[in-house]
Structure 1
Amino acid sequence: MSEARGHNKRETRDMYDSPAYQPRRAWTVALLLAAMMLVNFLDKVVTGLVAVPMMKELQLTPSEFGLVGGSLHWLFSISAVVGGFLANRRSTRWLLLGMGAFWALVQLPMLYATSLWTLVACRVLLGVGEGPASPVATHALYKWFPDDRRSLPVALLHSGSAMGLLIAGLMIPWVSTHYGWRSNFAILAVLGLAWCVAWFLLGREGRVGETVPGQAPAERLPYRRLLSDSTVLANYFCHFAANWSLALTLTWVPAYLESGLGLSPMNAGRLFGLFVLVTMPLSLFLAWLSQRLLRAGLPSRVARGVFVSLCLLASGALSISLLADLPVGLRMTYMTLSGGLALVMYSVGPAMLAEVTPSTQRGAILAIGNAFSSLAGLSAPIVTGFLVQRSGGLDGAGYAHGFAVSGVLLLVAGVVGLAWLRPQRSRAQLDRCLVGAG
């Protein structure tokens, strides 16, 4: 065991000292990709933050608005998988540039949309462009960082998402109040194009882990073998549960704060921003802690698998507790802690997948997981919308019931993770398949 651990450390150190690893350029790319995810999440959350004026102007019911919120994910899964397989064979630099430009342009029809199905069409198209964003960006990051350094940069990537939520909570209600809710979509188009310019000038392709000239090409495994591995399957389910929690928060928390708790649009936006301001450093700290445990010599089964499973269990318990009659401050505290704990899955989960997957197939495996988890993004807004409408509106108990559903999923995911997230064992089994194939 100690021999294997020493070998792993030597292998990691050799990779770390390789000329392919360039810390300054790697962190520059990480910051640019975090900025991309910031824009990405502004795009995602905007409908939730303009829910009240949009519903009033267009006379949408809660169920219809839930349909609009969920439509982003209708083709999300398909586009995520297609993008992941493309990322295995094409430059992530150019894939990300094309996606960013598409996001920006597809915002413009929202300036004139007047019917439910026009709104749905715009969000479906946005989902097509954004489906591959997270897995392709993560795959691009892994080309710059060795295995034992990956959790923190991916946490930074998703902290860009959280920063997007923070900026959205402060900016979007203000813009809606002074210039109308549609103006937000023009601003998002400009921000998207600005990121494209920055990425074109500074974005580059990483080389860590690539086969060098003179070496045999990297081996590949049948996808049926990778997709039947217990760690991969458990990882996908845990990601699904975490994404259910996130989709619920993005779609319904702003509307609940405004209509359910009676806050003004500006105060609701500020409180939502405070929610994000706490979850972002919490998720970064948890990702750093997991990485620290791994580098201290703990097996990835503990430093990654058990660690993320315990976070999901705690998140689920906090989410279910929202069924109780709690003061607003305590309710927001529980929602914040639950959200921050679930977010660790977005940084530690992909690192486990990368640990067990050949680098030549990593983009596709990450994308398939993202596609599966996006089904939660499709379902959570609609299920919660049904519960809200059934309970008599945003001031009823439907929202708490929606969080209870999310909590149960998170608890089940935590138990599944404790039982089956075993990346080292999976890596050994898959390595034996490669040897057998050879």
Structure 2
Amino acid sequence: MNDHTRYQPRMAWLITAMMLCFMLVNFLDKVVLGMVAVPLMAELHLSPARFGLVAGAFYWFFSLSTVLVGLIVDRIATRWLLLVMGIGWACLQIPIAFAGGVASIIICRVLLGIAEGPAFPVSVHAVYKWFPDDRRNLPVAVIAQGAGLGLVLAGFLIPAISAHWGWRANFIVLAAAGTAWSLMWVCFGSEGTLRDGARPAFGLAATHAGESQRLPWQKLLLDRSVVLLFLMGFCAYWLLGVTLTWVPAYLEKGLGFDSMAAGRWYAVVTVAGMPCTLIMSALSQRLLRRGVVTRVARAWVACGCMAVGALLLGVLVTAPLPATFKPLLLAFASSMPGVAVTLSPVMLGEIVPFSQRGACLSFFTAFGNIAGLVAPMVMGLFVQHYGADDVRGYEAGLLSGGALLAVVSVAGFCWLDPARSRAALLCSSARSVATA
């Protein structure tokens, strides 16, 4: 067995652990500005509107950079790309720590957003090079837990650092964290050599090193399963965007919890998705390795979780439930779509040619992040219509997300079939080669 088909479990899981830490640092970088908002605004004399401008700067070119890096990620070794990203994250924290005004913070946050936009697709692409197709569900789920771990760690670490050394010290700590990860990656990081050798190559024959023929992007991105996977990611990121921005206010203003209780419930909502994603991904992988077809083992599992999430959100909004029960229901409802964020990239990796996989994963993340930008604004319109202290505004916004989940999950049950899409693209590629 050659290097392109040999699975090395020890090294594969080491790389997965490194990617978990990579995403943990990524989410710490994302949330730190919001968690130091009060002292930062006081020291720099910022109005809420001005702070909103500063906070939003991180996302100005986030999706654009994800797409642009996606176009080159299949041509550059992920080992070096990840190293450049890690070093860039670390370096961009230092100027914020010593910033004397808003302009320098905005510039650094814009550049940080550009550097961090491609983090998830590049890390997934790197791990795919170490795992065969039927073993990818669980490692991708593990990588995704970096987000939850980062949020939990931020909740404990950032307030403590701010209390002892001031808000600026957080950015020094994050610079050190980025530097430490980069040094570890230099020591232990390596490029995977698995090239989907167990699957038939696109075209009449594979090229050297297991590379497969490239397909026209129009044909690939308009494939029925690919479109549905992008929509599933969009729905999952929609609910994630609402969770990160409006759920704390919903718990405190809408449900009437005090700030401490709201904080504890928010931690429950955030953490609930971690075991759910791991369990359902492991179940999907177990089904797959027992010979269950991909449409059932991956597509129906992901669509089923989205449908359950939609149902729970409907119950949350329409049933006469006590306030103490609603956060628990929200925790389970918001955890379900996270399974789609894990399984959708795995199904994309199954469908698309190896030579276009990294780009397609980046497009998936960029499209999902559009929902992360739009969803908080839509939620804000509902809240503004009913009033910030009226629970109906928050729950109307949650119900809109549930409606999206319901529609896309039904479409997925009906038409999402990765194996069929791969076969159709394979035949199309073969015909193109034969007529060339």
TM-score by length of 1: 0.87
Residue of structure 1 aligned with 2:75, choices 89, 97, 100: 89
Match of 1:219 in 2: 213
Give 1:122 deviation, angstroms.
4.1
Give 1:117 deviation, angstroms.
6.9
Match of 1:316 in 2: 310
User: SS where residue 17 of structure 2 aligns?
Assistant: helix
Residue of structure 1 aligned with 2:427, choices 427, 432, 437: 432
Task: Please state if 1:408 is matched with 2:408.
Answer: no
Whole-Å Cα distance in 2 between the matches of residues 323 and 35 of structure 1?
Answer: 36
Per-residue CA deviation, residues 102-125 of structure 1 (Å, 9 max, x unaligned), is 222323344366877766554332
Give 1:92 deviation, angstroms.
0.3
Task: Say whether the 8 Å CA contact 1:84–1:132 is kept in structure 2.
Answer: yes
Give 1:269 deviation, angstroms.
4.3
How has the CA–CA distance of structure 1 residues 41 and 290 changed in structure 2, closer, same or farther, with 3 Å as cutoff? same
Match of 1:3 in 2: none
Task: Say whether the 8 Å CA contact 1:110–1:185 is kept in structure 2.
Answer: yes
Match of 1:303 in 2: 297
Which moves more between the two structures, 84-93 or 111-120? 111-120
Give 1:198 deviation, angstroms.
1.0
Partner AA of 2:135 in structure 1: R
Give 1:339 deviation, angstroms.
2.0
Task: Say whether the 8 Å CA contact 1:111–1:182 is kept in structure 2.
Answer: yes
How has the CA–CA distance of structure 1 residues 51 and 400 changed in structure 2, closer, same or farther, with 3 Å as cutoff? farther
Whole-Å Cα distance in 2 between the matches of residues 182 and 393 of structure 1?
Answer: 31
Match of 2:124 in 1: 138
Task: Say whether the 8 Å CA contact 1:81–1:367 is kept in structure 2.
Answer: yes
TM-score by length of 2: 0.87
Match of 1:21 in 2: 7
Partner AA of 2:285 in structure 1: Q
User: SS where residue 72 of structure 1 aligns?
Assistant: helix
Aligned residues: 422
User: SS where residue 431 of structure 1 aligns?
Assistant: helix
Task: Please state if 1:246 is matched with 2:240.
Answer: yes
Task: Please state if 1:233 is matched with 2:227.
Answer: yes
Per-residue CA deviation, residues 282-312 of structure 1 (Å, 9 max, x unaligned), is 1100111111111121111111111111111
Give 5+ residue unaligned stretches, structure 2: 198-205
Whole-Å Cα distance in 2 between the matches of residues 147 and 104 of structure 1?
Answer: 33
Whole-Å Cα distance in 1 between the matches of residues 81 and 359 of structure 2?
Answer: 14
Residue of structure 2 aligned with 1:275, choices 269, 274, 287: 269
Match of 2:203 in 1: none
Whole-Å Cα distance in 2 between the matches of residues 107 and 386 of structure 1?
Answer: 33
Per-residue CA deviation, residues 222-247 of structure 1 (Å, 9 max, x unaligned), is 11111110111110011011011112
Residue of structure 2 aligned with 1:353, choices 341, 348, 352: 348
Match of 1:189 in 2: 175
Whole-Å Cα distance in 2 between the matches of residues 411 and 193 of structure 1?
Answer: 43
Give 1:45 deviation, angstroms.
2.5
Match of 1:8 in 2: none
Per-residue CA deviation, residues 367-417 of structure 1 (Å, 9 max, x unaligned), is 111111110122123333344344433665433333222222222221232
Give 1:331 deviation, angstroms.
1.9
Task: Say whether the 8 Å CA contact 1:45–1:168 is kept in structure 2.
Answer: yes
Q: How does 1:324-363 map to 2 (within 5 A)?
A: 324=318, 326-363=321-358
How has the CA–CA distance of structure 1 residues 379 and 113 changed in structure 2, closer, same or farther, with 3 Å as cutoff? farther
How has the CA–CA distance of structure 1 residues 422 and 104 changed in structure 2, closer, same or farther, with 3 Å as cutoff? same
User: SS where residue 160 of structure 1 aligns?
Assistant: helix
Match of 2:21 in 1: 35
Partner AA of 2:334 in structure 1: G
Task: Please state if 1:208 is matched with 2:194.
Answer: yes
How has the CA–CA distance of structure 1 residues 336 and 66 changed in structure 2, closer, same or farther, with 3 Å as cutoff? farther
Partner AA of 1:194 in structure 2: A
Per-residue CA deviation, residues 38-84 of structure 1 (Å, 9 max, x unaligned), is 111112233444456666775544x7666655543321221111111
Give 1:262 deviation, angstroms.
4.6
Match of 1:104 in 2: 90
Task: Say whether the 8 Å CA contact 2:207–2:213 is kept in structure 1.
Answer: no
Match of 1:421 in 2: 416
User: SS where residue 159 of structure 1 aligns?
Assistant: helix
User: SS where residue 168 of structure 1 aligns?
Assistant: helix
Percent sequence identity is: 44
Which moves more between the two structures, 360-369 or 383-392? 383-392
Whole-Å Cα distance in 2 between the matches of residues 66 and 405 of structure 1?
Answer: 24
Give 1:136 deviation, angstroms.
0.7
Task: Say whether the 8 Å CA contact 2:195–2:210 is kept in structure 1.
Answer: no
Task: Say whether the 8 Å CA contact 1:163–1:276 is kept in structure 2.
Answer: no
